[in-house]
Amino acid sequence: MKNIIFQQCQTVVDDTLYPISNISNILAILYHEFAHINWAGLYYCDNENQECILGPFQGKVACTKIPYHKGVVGTCAASKKMIVVDNVHQFDGHIACDHSSKSELVIPLIYNNELLAILDIDSDQYNNFDQDTVETILEISYILSSLVSKERK
């Protein structure tokens, strides 16, 4: 099943479209095809001002700016490392943009050693991100990294 989701993400990418169109379709796939996802989106990284700025997403209204080192997204931006949070209520400094979120996966989108964005996926279930799901979304994040890099040109 997860292999099919990855293939869907590859298939929707159309190089004749603006990168944002492809990014939006991939986020829609993540939001609708994985179980119990209540938010999936990007935060663009402003490395100079050390903050994450809301980008395209699927889900409820979201926090628009998150400083580096704050919350799960900001911690990911500061560390440039993927974070899987099984219970967001146990993550020190978690920013609750949507109170129904219970677990979270964040992945830094890095291209040519530059931090471009954070892929943020929230779930309304605890412990929702098993190893297979994480590995699949990590593979999809490489597609997103390439697309975000094209936006920045």
Question: Whole-angstrom Cα distance, residue 15 to residue 93?
Answer: 39
pLDDT the model gives residue 109 = 99
Note the pLDDT of residue 41. Answer: 98
The residue among 45, 40, 41 whose CA lies nearest residue 66 is 45
Position 153 pLDDT exceeds 80: no
Instruction: Give the domain extent around 143.
Output: 2-151
Indicate whether 67 pLDDT > 90: yes
Per-residue pLDDT, 100: 86
Using alpha carbons only, give the angle 114, 118, 71 rounded to the nearest 5 degrees: 120
Mean pLDDT score of the chain, rounded to an integer? Answer: 95
Residue-wise pLDDT tens digits, 14-24: 999 999 999 99
**What global pTM score does this model have?**
0.96
**What radius of gyration, in Å, describes the C-alpha atoms of the chain?**
14
So what's the pLDDT on residue 75?
A: 98
What whole-number percentage of the chain has pLDDT above 70? 99
Q: How many domains does the chain have?
A: 1
Q: What percent of the chain has pLDDT over 90?
A: 90
| Separation CA 52–CA 75 (nearest Å) | 10
Q: How confident is the model at residue 92 (pLDDT cuts 50, 70, 90)?
A: confident
Q: What six digits make up the tokens of 66?
A: 């998150």
- Given this model, what pLDDT does residue 1 score? 64
Contact 44, 26 (CB under 8 A): no
Flag whether pLDDT at 99 surpasses 70: yes
Residue 48: the pLDDT is 97
Average pLDDT of the residues in 25-43: 98
CATH number of the domain to which 66 belongs: 3.30.450.40
As a whole number of angstroms, the distance between CA 41 and CA 2 comes to: 19
